[in-house]
Structure 1
Amino acid sequence: MIKKLIGKKLKATRLGKGLTIQELTNLSGVSANMISRIERGLTVPSVKILMKLASALGMSIGYFVEEAEKSSTVVLTRKGQGEPIFFYEEKQQISSLTQGLRDPSFTVLHDTLEKGCNSGGGHMVHTGEEFVMVLKGRLEFLIKGDAYVLESGDSLSFKASLPHLWRNLEDGPTEVLWVVSPAPNIAQ
């Protein structure tokens, strides 16, 4: 559990600072392979490595350890206080509403999609199930070639193994609530 928590925190911090793994390697002196293994939750870094990474990111070593100690069986997330986990070219901002939950079997995400934002050119396929609810705006989903237009208050549930993609139909931001099961490894 601590491996995954430190890995998620490291990746979120690195991405939040706009760094690639190679750039963090250059700043910290820690190999790209080791950083990748830590971020994927495959290894617990030594204190020496964690100190190098923390220093390169302008953080204290306690920042990573404290976060790992905070995992809980109950997580309260106040409005607007979700843990930012993903930003894409100022078009998409995803925050976790379940970050810090110990051994979750699902993840809840709040997503703000700016005008023109979409899931990319190819269809996504992965294990598990997804639930999406549009809180504000309009979102189009294509699942196995069938189109679904969701407006504020609409929701959609589907097997994530079905080829799917989505795009924001609004001239402004669309806000979405996602529930994904099983919980993805955000640090990948």
Structure 2
Amino acid sequence: MPTEYHIGTRIRSFREERDIDLENLAQTTNLSVEFLEKLENGEIYPSIGPLQKVARALGVRLGTFLDDQYTRDPIIGHIGGAEADQALHTGRMPRPSYVYHSLGKGKSDRNMEPFYIEIFPDPSVERKTSSHQGEEFIMVLKGELLVIYGRESHVLKAGDTIYYNSIVPHFVGAAGDEPVEIMAVAYNP
């Protein structure tokens, strides 16, 4: 069973290290103070978009919240086993909607954030789009993925890919009642 850990503690630590209060972080990220408080307290877990906004505002990479204890080249990973023990669970409690497995863990100087992501259907999740700097590439491994990109909606199936500019408002989630597995790479300049 994967060990869940909350990134809120790390975010709070970086914010306090930089002497940034929640109000200033909220202004910089365009996220509400209430959202940030819940994030830091482990009450909510955002998708990659809000995390990237927080990372950018704190002057760190997204991966800093996930690992970054050392640099190693090349990074060789495996889905499952020890890697799964360090999965980042996000979404609504008690069952997370997203489970991120960082595939770049250990390479602190990386420019891309590769992930294996499990997405579970959650009808209570609002299909709210978000935007952030960078680009994203997704390949569907299993299931059906709903991608809302601007005013377009796409349902992708196993073997389908999508590559887009993250500045365009977007949403990624399960298209139906079955879990989805994807490989995703986010680039944040």
Class of the TM-score when normalised by the shorter of the 2 chains? 0.5 to 0.7
2:162 corresponding residue in structure 1? 156
Conserved? CA contact 1:137–1:152, under 8 Å:
yes
Superposed CA RMSD in Å reads: 3.1
Residue 38 (structure 1) aligned with residue 14 (structure 2): yes
Normalization by structure 1: what TM-score? Answer: 0.60
Question: Distance between the aligned counterparts of 1:36 and 1:166, measured in 2?
Answer: 26
Find the structure with the greater CA-based Rg: 1
Report Cα offsets for 1:69-97 as digits up to 9, x if no partner: 54213211123125412332322211101
Which of 145, 155, 170 is the matching residue for 2:176? 170
Tell me, what secondary structure is at the counterpart of 2:129? coil
Which of 116, 123, 148 is the matching residue for 2:122? 116
Tell me, what secondary structure is at the counterpart of 1:74? coil
Tell me, what secondary structure is at the counterpart of 1:162? coil
2:105 corresponding residue in structure 1? 99
2:76 corresponding residue in structure 1? 76
2:50 corresponding residue in structure 1? none
Change (3 A) 1:117 1:87: farther
Tell me, what secondary structure is at the counterpart of 2:171? strand
Report the identity percentage.
21
Change (3 A) 1:74 1:41: farther
Conserved? CA contact 1:128–1:181, under 8 Å:
yes
Counterpart AA for 2:119: L
Shift of 1:41: 7.5
Structure 2: stretches of 5+ with no match in the other structure: 20-66
Change (3 A) 1:117 1:153: farther
Change (3 A) 1:87 1:165: closer
Question: Distance between the aligned counterparts of 1:41 and 1:104, measured in 2?
Answer: 23
Structure 1: stretches of 5+ with no match in the other structure: 1-12, 22-33, 44-66, 184-188
Shift of 1:157: 0.2
2:38 corresponding residue in structure 1? none
- Between the two proteins, the alignment pairs up a number of residues equal to 134
Counterpart AA for 1:112: E
Counterpart AA for 1:36: R
1:86 corresponding residue in structure 2? 89
